[in-house]
Structure 1
Amino acid sequence: MAQEQSMDLPIIDLDVFLQQPRDSEALKAECARAADALITYGALVLHDSRVSMSDNDTFLDLLEDYFAQPEEDLKKDERPEFAYQIGVTLENTEKPKCAVDEPCLRVIERLAPSERPLDISGHEPDPKCRFFWRMVEPPPYETRFPVLNADNVVPEAPHIRQRWTPVMNQWGTSMKNA
């Protein structure tokens, strides 16, 4: 029987990176913890004292409400015509490029075995859902790239719609300022 890994992701303290000298043992230890988390889980949790916990909670509450909607409601927010670069991308939509892209496969072959991805042969779509909310000023001109001219997607559900734009912009601003 395979050993199950816990999904209790390590919390990496960004303040260590901001406050410690580059050669400090504390910084080296936090770097090692971050690297281990990415190797083991492919993810980590960041703690940054510059970001308000209440903003974090408000953002998470909104996203929990959003993703608790029925799939048919979520599908209204998909924008495949913009390569899913705005709006929602539902689970099992995206496929790993390197699984079938010859130039990418050649790059992986050149990596040392210890540096290669564990498995790209499965061709399995990504099981996560996500939502893209752009935090940029629109260009003052039409571009040849339609996604850059597209408006952000705001969900239709009344219990979400009113909160969506202010919460997404607040959280995005917190991330940009951090």
Structure 2
Amino acid sequence: MTDVVLPIVDLDLFLSQPPQSEVVQQECKKAADALINYGALLLHDSRVSEDDNDIFLDLMEDYFAQPEQDLKRDERPELGYQVGVTLENTEKPKCAVDEPCLQIIAKLAPSERPLDITAHSPDPKCRFFWKMSEKPPYETQFPGLNAANVVPQSESIQIRWTAVMEKWGQSMKNA
């Protein structure tokens, strides 16, 4: 298996250069190409602390290194996985099987269509959804919007979790 090196998109360029400048346009192309080719990219933003990034990544590594049965305690499928963990091979691309979605794609110009979606398997990544908002001041018909964030049960992770997640989320919101 070949290691993939994701492109790094420098957000500082977007803050320091005019939108139509050549350097910004090249950075936009780099971002678009990364999303087309890899479905992901790395961002550099000098407004976000490298130390905060490292602390967040260390927490995520510790969290996802737990045994699967420990991770499963943090799943909330009844809330559409809108809080807590979503384990690998859980999420399936809607458009691979949804006829109205497939019809919309068929109407797009070939250059605008997504790459092959017919052979998609469930998503192989794990993720953790931590909401960065307060509970709405009203009840909604969507229980996931009213649900509290999930804090992992592992003591060694639990004691760091909320502070790190809130700090990292605030960094993302402020950037």
TM-score clears 0.5: yes
Letter in 2 for 1:121: T
Q: Does 58-67 or 97-106 show the bigger shift?
A: 97-106
Letter in 2 for 1:47: H
Note if 1:161 corresponds to 2:158.
yes
Report the counterpart of residue 15 of structure 2 in structure 1.
Answer: 18
1:5 positional shift: 6.2
Secondary structure of the residue aligned to 2:25 is helix
Note the residue ranges of structure 1 that are not aligned, 5 or more in a row.
none
Report the counterpart of residue 146 of structure 1 in structure 2.
Answer: 143
Letter in 2 for 1:148: L
Note the residue ranges of structure 2 that are not aligned, 5 or more in a row.
none
Q: Deviations over 1:106-145 (max 9, x none)?
A: 1111122222222211241110000000000111232222
TM-score (norm 2): 0.96
CA distance in 2, matches of 1:16, 1:35: 16
Matched pairs, number: 175
1:79 positional shift: 0.1
Q: CA RMSD in A?
A: 1.2
Identity %: 71
Give structure 1 regions of 4+ aligned residues with deviation exceeding 4 angstroms: none
1:165 positional shift: 0.2
CA distance in 1, matches of 2:171, 2:119: 37
> Counterparts of 1:25-174 in structure 2 under 5 Å?
25-174=22-171
Letter in 1 for 2:42: V
TM-aligned CA distance change 1:175 to 1:115, over 3 Å: same
Q: Does 27-36 or 65-74 show the bigger shift?
A: 27-36
CA distance in 1, matches of 2:31, 2:132: 26
